[in-house]
Amino acid sequence: MKLKKLLLSAGTMAMMAVSGSAWAEEITIATVNNNDMIVMQELAPKWEEATGNKINWVVLEENVLRQRTTQDISTNGGSFDIMFIGAYETPIWGKNGWLASLDDFADDAAYDLNDIFQLVRNGLSAEGHLYAVPLYSETSFTYYRSDLFEKAGIAKPTEQITYDQFAEMVSKVHDPENGVYGTCQRGKAGWGENMAFVGTLANAFGARWFDEQWQPQLDSPEWNAAIHYYVDLMTKYGPPGATANGHNENRALFKDGKCATWVDATSAANDVKNPANSKVADVTDFFQAPKQATDKGTGWFWSWALAIPASSQKVDTAKDFLKWATSKEYFQMVGETKGWVAVPSGTRASIHEDPRLLEAAPFAETIKNAIFSVDPADPTRDPVPYTGVQFVAIPEFQGIGNFVGQQVAAALAGQMSVEDALSASQDFAVREMTKAGYIK
């Protein structure tokens, strides 16, 4: 097998020597079936035409994608040349040496790396090296139906409200007889699903995942209060079957006019405000995600970004595509072909200042400010040893987050009490952290 590899690489080198760098290549991209990625897939033939390269798209649903890419990159499988990964994976994988460094993007004046928000670049770096470039980044804020609020006599909040005030508003707009539920929040179990919202909710209530010694804190009174609030709110004012609803399900419900409020990703705004896709485009407005005991960590931070596995044999071509797909020109092209309201947000300063964007999507400014208010390095009221707002940037978090997510979903479904759910979560987290050697 070694011989084969050697021969192969010798062959490739010979070919490269013959043809120079203009050799057309075929690259494989693993991507998720979110709207913005589908748009990229539609526009990519332009890059293919310009460079003569060819792209094989592997489009998978988010959970499957995450499992497939992690499995491939950790075993050095080399099936993909470019992967869509998130703000959670990037630093961990970068530190493991699994990703090709993108530091040389800084040397490309046309690409203008510094135009990408500093905060986002930091989130996609590890130990000072950049490992991924963002297609979009997001925080969470509150979507609400201005028509329903007006009818109920509620004014748009000008300052950050508390979750108690939020619950009161929700109670006034809850109208299931007419098919409108007071609030839709994520209920589908998973660290990237219900725990994203629940994590920020817990932060607001003053909770934290671990103390400074990595001791899990899930049985604390703060967590208890937060989960009680969540279950109570969703049981009273949520849609039926909430435990099956993740981001996409809620997005569909909201766009269909079935929800009066929804605290979720800013990146859905261009879709919700797009009259072509949404029934409520004209009557949707936004305000900050609520706070409670503290205003720290009340909005999450996430980014979908493109990275190149270190195992790829076609790093140069892959880098070329990365630059194209996150360039100023790309975002402008999306604006021109798909409408400026559809431009992915939260990446480039120049795009956020573009008058065409500000005219078509006035809410882009709100999104930018919301993203700037997040600090993943200081996410909680009490001190913590980790970074990350709605996640904890350690490899073990996925497992713990998924388990806790399941317990919270069980509490929401009424299958167990909040206390039992949290004590099971605490036990599990202690087990995992012991297993991994954090707790001696």
Partner 1 sequence: MATKASRAAARMMISPAVILLFAWMIVPLGMTLYFSVLRYNLLTPGANPFVGWENYYWFLTDPSFSAAMVNTLVLVGGVLLITVIGGILFALLLDRPMFGQGVIRIMVIAPFFVMPTVSALVWKNMFMNPVNGIFGRIATGLGFQPVDFFGQIPLASIIIIVAWQWLPFATLILLTALQSLDQEQLEAAEMDGANWTSRFWYIMLPHLARAITVVILIQTIFLLSVFAEILVTTNGGPGTASTTVTYLVYVSSLLQYDVGIGSAGGVVAVILANIVAIFLMRMIGKNLDA
Partner 2 sequence: MARAVSNKTKTINTVIAGTLGVLMFFPILWIIILSFKTEEDAVRAPLEVLFQSGWTTDNFSTVQARSDYFRHFSNSVIISLGSTLLGLVVAIPAAWSMAFVPARRTKDVLMWMLSTKMMPPVGVLVPIYLIFRDTGLLDSRVGLTVVLMLINLPIIIWMLYTYFREIPGEILEAARMDGAGLKEEILYVLTPMAVPGIASTILLNIILAWNEAFWTLNLTAANAAPLTAFIASYSSPEGLFYAKLSAASIMAIAPILIMGWFSQKQLVRGLTFGAVK
38 binds, among partner 1, partner 2, none (CB under 5 to 8 A by kind): partner 2
| Contacting partner 1 within 230-259 (CB under 8 A) | 239-244, 253, 258
Min separation Cβ 277 and partner 2, Å = 6
314 binds, among partner 2, partner 1, none (CB under 5 to 8 A by kind): none
**313 lies in the binding site for partner 1 (CB under 8 A):** no
β-strand partners of 144: 261, 285
**326 lies in the binding site for partner 1 (CB under 8 A):** no
Torsion angle of C-alpha atoms 175, 176, 177, 179, degrees rounded to 10:
100
Looking at the Cβ atoms of 221 and 241, the one nearer to partner 1 is 241
**Interacting residue ranges for partner 2, rule: CB under 8 A:** 1, 4, 28, 30, 33-35, 38, 41, 56-64, 68, 71-72, 75-80, 246, 248-249, 251-252, 255-256, 271, 277
Q: How many CB atoms lie within 10 A of CB 217?
A: 18
Looking at the Cβ atoms of 30 and 351, the one nearer to partner 2 is 30
Looking at the Cβ atoms of 47 and 57, the one nearer to partner 2 is 57
Burial profile 428-437: b = 16 or more Cβ within 10 angstroms, e = fewer:
bbbebbeeee
416 binds, among partner 2, partner 1, none (CB under 5 to 8 A by kind): partner 1
**265 lies in the binding site for partner 1 (CB under 8 A):** no
Size of the site for partner 1 (CB under 8 A): 41
**92 lies in the binding site for partner 1 (CB under 8 A):** yes
Q: Phi and psi (nearest 5°) for 18?
A: -65, -50
56 binds, among partner 1, partner 2, none (CB under 5 to 8 A by kind): partner 2
Structure tokens at 266: 């800013």
Q: Are 429 and 220 in contact (CB under 8 A)?
A: no
- The site map against partner 1 for 356-395 (x = CB under 8 A) is ---------------------------------------x
Structure tokens at 149: 């609020």
Min separation Cβ 336 and partner 2, Å = 20
* Pairing status of strand 54-60 against strand 26-32: parallel
Looking at the Cβ atoms of 243 and 298, the one nearer to partner 1 is 243
427 binds, among partner 1, partner 2, none (CB under 5 to 8 A by kind): partner 1
Q: Are 21 and 51 in contact (CB under 8 A)?
A: no
Amino acid at 53: N
248 binds, among partner 2, partner 1, none (CB under 5 to 8 A by kind): partner 2
CA distances from residue 300 to 66, 85, 171, 275 in whole angstroms, order as listed: 20, 17, 25, 27
Per the listing, tokens 């690409």 go with 111
**9 lies in the binding site for partner 1 (CB under 8 A):** no
Go through the chain and tell me how many residues it has: 440
Q: Measured between alpha carbons, how far is 297 from 378 in angstroms, rounded to an integer? A: 8
Q: Please name the residue ranges forming H helices in 180-289.
A: 194-204, 221-237, 247-255, 269-272
Quick one: angle between helices 418-435 and 397-412, nearest 10? 170
Q: Please name the residue ranges forming H helices in 287-362.
A: 315-325, 328-338, 349-353, 355-360
4 binds, among partner 1, partner 2, none (CB under 5 to 8 A by kind): partner 2
- The site map against partner 1 for 162-191 (x = CB under 8 A) is --------------------------xxx-
Q: Tell me which of 281, 294, 402, 430 binds partner 1, using CB under 8 A.
A: 402
Q: Are 242 and 234 in contact (CB under 8 A)?
A: yes
Q: Measured between alpha carbons, how far is 309 from 331 in angstroms, rounded to an integer? A: 24
List residues binding partner 1 (CB under 8 A): 63, 67, 70-71, 74-75, 92, 96-97, 188-190, 239-244, 253, 258, 395-396, 398-399, 402, 406-407, 409-410, 412-416, 421, 424, 427-428, 431, 435-436
